[in-house]
Amino acid sequence: MIRNGHSGSSAERELGSRRPVRVWCDGCFDMVHYGHSNQLRQARAMGDYLIAGVHTDEEISCHKGPPVFTQEERYKMVRAIKWVDEIVPGAPYVTTLETLDKYNCDFCVHGNDITLTVDGKDTYEEVKTAGRYRECQRTQGVSTTDLVGRMLLMTKTHHSVGVNSDYQQHRDNFGKDARGCSPWTGVSQFLQTSQKIMQFASGKEPEPGDTIIYVAGAFDLFHIGHIDFLEKVHSLAPKPYIIVGLHFDQEVNVYKGKNYPIMNIHERTLSVLACRYVSEVVIGAPYAVTADLIDHFKVDMVYHGKTEVLPDKDGSDPYAEPKRRGIFQTVDSGNSLSTDDIVQRIIKNSTNTFRSAVQRCNG
């Protein structure tokens, strides 16, 4: 279990009379993943107020090809990232001093990789020359290209195996240990890869009066459908404290099949932790919402979206216990987008790109 929160609040209190440092960070932010979130986290840490500029569909299509998500979807995804204070829809693809001055930004931040226009020019050349450019570390091991490759090639090599089995054994021992230790409160089995997780998680415990809400699932390719669901759930209580239970890769693969999940448990954890609506993440949550889990987290309500709920391995309803207690409710977020839909968008885009290339070659 990892508690979540916005790491900038204490810094804001320490500003005093000092003028806040305003930071600009722009991009396509298509298929938003934890690499994007980490860039925004690093950018926010360089100042006091972060403005994220998001390019239009037209600009992206001109310089890189058609995006997977519409601009409206991308605007909402970036707004939901907890380190972002403000977004600018329709930000220009080439970052200029005029843009920084317009939004009173001291400098802009980008990863340590070059971004070029369609004619091969550095999109940050002007602000670099003026000394109003800062660089952050690009997140290793994830990219939109890599995620697209996993979908198209139907690989499973990205799934986490060892961590799952170790954690499963620890989880299965819950209730048998005389100390009554919770299987959800530690992340020691993630120590070799947990530094990034702890950078993303910087929150607090539930406060008196909070409504503790539990939701569970794969949350694969954390997308606008998930955001709309979590935003809806967040609106259902005056002081919501949302706990997201993430199923292990092998668990997800059992009920989703193919090569799902596209993102492994580490990647999905980071993606969910970046969301401003989420208070805690339970890594390796059981498929069935058990009495032990409800009691341990003092859960007040359990919500699920409109997607189909498959039976547990023994044929039982995974939500039987919260239903028995009268604390289960189905929520309609108004957005039916699924991970399957995103994969279909990717396949369609790839097919269209291939056809265009063939036509150019034959033309």
* Nearest-10 crossing angle of helices 339-362, 144-153: 90
Question: 159-341: same fold as 2-13+20-140?
Answer: yes
pLDDT tens for 275-306 read: 999 999 999 999 999 999 999 999 999 999 99
Most confidently predicted of 171-180, 185-194, 239-248, 339-348: 239-248
pLDDT value for 226: 98
Residues 83, 276: Cα–Cα separation, whole Å? 8
Give yes or no for residue 311 having a pLDDT over 70: yes
Query: Structural domain boundaries of the chain?
Result: 2-13+20-140, 159-341
Task: Give the residue carrying structure tokens 């340590």.
Answer: 112
Superfamily of domain 159-341 in CATH is HUPs (3.40.50.620)
pLDDT classification of 352: cutoffs 50, 70, 90: low
Whole-number Å distance between alpha carbons of 196 and 180: 29
CATH of 2-13+20-140, one of 3.40.50.620, 3.40.50.2300, 3.65.10.10, 1.10.3720.10: 3.40.50.620
Contact 218, 261 (CB under 8 A): yes
* pTM of the model as a whole: 0.84
**What mean pLDDT do residues 232-237 have?**
98
Asked whether the beta carbons of 31 and 66 are under 8 A apart, the reply is no
Structure tokens at 249: 């890769």
Question: Residue 287 has which token pair?
Answer: 């498929």
pLDDT the model gives residue 197: 78
User: 119 falls in which pLDDT band (50, 70, 90)?
Assistant: confident
User: Quick check: helix, strand or coil at residue 337?
Assistant: coil
Q: CB-based contacts of 237: which residues, under 8 Å, 6+ apart?
A: 211, 213, 301
Residue 192 in this model has a pLDDT that exceeds 80: no
Helices in the chain by DSSP H: which ranges?
Answer: 9-13, 34-45, 57-63, 71-79, 97-102, 125-129, 144-153, 162-172, 194-200, 224-234, 249-256, 265-273, 291-297, 320-324, 339-362
Provide CB contacts within 8 A for 43, sequence distance 6+.
23, 25, 50, 83, 109, 134, 136
Instruction: Give mean pLDDT, residues 14-42.
Output: 91
